[in-house]
Structure 1
Amino acid sequence: MKREIKFRAWDNLENRWYEPTFEGYRGKIEEIMLSPRGRLTMRTMTELIDESMFPNRFELMQYTGLKDKNGGEIYEGDIVRTGEDNIGDPESMIGQVIMREGSWLIENEKMQEAIELFSEITSREVIGNIFEDKQLLEGKYE
């Protein structure tokens, strides 16, 4: 099975996501480039920003290769809710997608629990991410 390898980057300065593809957006083309050594560079029509000029500006998140129940791509750092059809899971849970020991997990630090992201018997739904929706992990959700 072939897994698609791709990334997205959170810009801590601009508080927005960048996808590593060309985007035609109001005449402004944006691109995030990742060097073989892991250095990020953002290119727009008007500027070129290398992360060496702005340390800790970008947070790189990897695509898990999985989609949620709505067909949305699941990335590292997403906040995921396990489904109501939680056969096999201890109970419904909300947690952050992380990589640990080569496996994608949903981790809820407050409950000190982690379960596998992939499941054939229960659905997963992305409800936010750790940059824009951190309160979802703090138990302040509906």
Structure 2
Amino acid sequence: MKREIKFRAWDKENKKMAQVSRINFGPGGIRYLVDDSVLLEYTGLHDKNGREIYEGDVVKNEYGKVMEVQYDPRSAAFGVGDYYFGTIGSGKTLEVIGNIFENPELLEAQHE
């Protein structure tokens, strides 16, 4: 199975999400991107509405629980809460409702 690798980035200065069309790994190229932006990787999965799921997205499961999509380097997998995407139906039960940069209040409300 071919895995689609793509990114989007949160522009810290302009406070906007942008699709990344190319990455320059030349001298200073990636450093500029990382210093001024937060690079977010596509998980390769879609939510129940067909929306692409990216690292940093805020999702809601079928029980109404709101969680952040994170990458776990220890297991080299994306997941939400205590579940990795391989164990939660590959995103079919999740709905993307925002992201941690544009909608931080979604997670704050969950912790109150």
What TM-score comes out, normalization by structure 2 length? Answer: 0.80
C-alpha distance in 2, partners of 1:102/1:126? 22
Select the structure that is richer in strand.
1
Cα separation, 1, equivalents of 2:101 and 2:20: 18
**Which residue does 1:116 correspond to in 2?**
84
Query: Alignment length, in residue pairs?
Result: 106
Aligned AA (1:129)? N
Q: Does the C-alpha gap of structure 1 residues 81 and 39 become closer, same or farther in structure 2, counting only changes over 3 Å?
A: farther
How far has the Cα of 1:39 moved from its partner?
Answer: 4.0
2:78 is equivalent to residue 104 of structure 1: yes
CA offset digits 1:77-104 (Å, max 9, x no partner): 00011114xxxxxxx4211101112111
Cα distance in 2, alignment partners of residues 7 and 81 from structure 1? 22
- 1:56 maps to 35
More helix by share: 2
Which amino acid is the alignment partner of residue 45 of structure 2? L
TM-score for both structures, normalised by structure 1: 0.64
Residue 71 (structure 1) aligns with:
50
C-alpha deviation, 1:36, in angstroms: 3.5
Given residue 96 of structure 1, which amino acid in structure 2 is its aligned partner? E
**Structure 1 position 83 matched with structure 2 position 62:** yes
Residue 10 (structure 1) shift: 0.7
- Kindly provide the CA deviation profile for residues 39-90 of structure 1, in whole angstroms up to 9, marking residues without a partner as x: 44xxxxxxxxx727xx732000000000000100000000011114xxxxxx
Q: Counterpart of 1:34 in 2: which secondary structure? A: coil
Larger RCO (CA within 8 A; separation ≥ 6) = 2
- Unaligned runs of 5+ residues in structure 1 are 22-32, 41-49, 85-91, 108-113
Give the share of equivalent positions with the same residue, in percent: 38
RMSD: 2.6
The SS at the match of 2:35 is: coil
Alignment of 1:14-29 (within 5 A): 14-21=14-21
What is the SS of the residue equivalent to 2:9?
strand
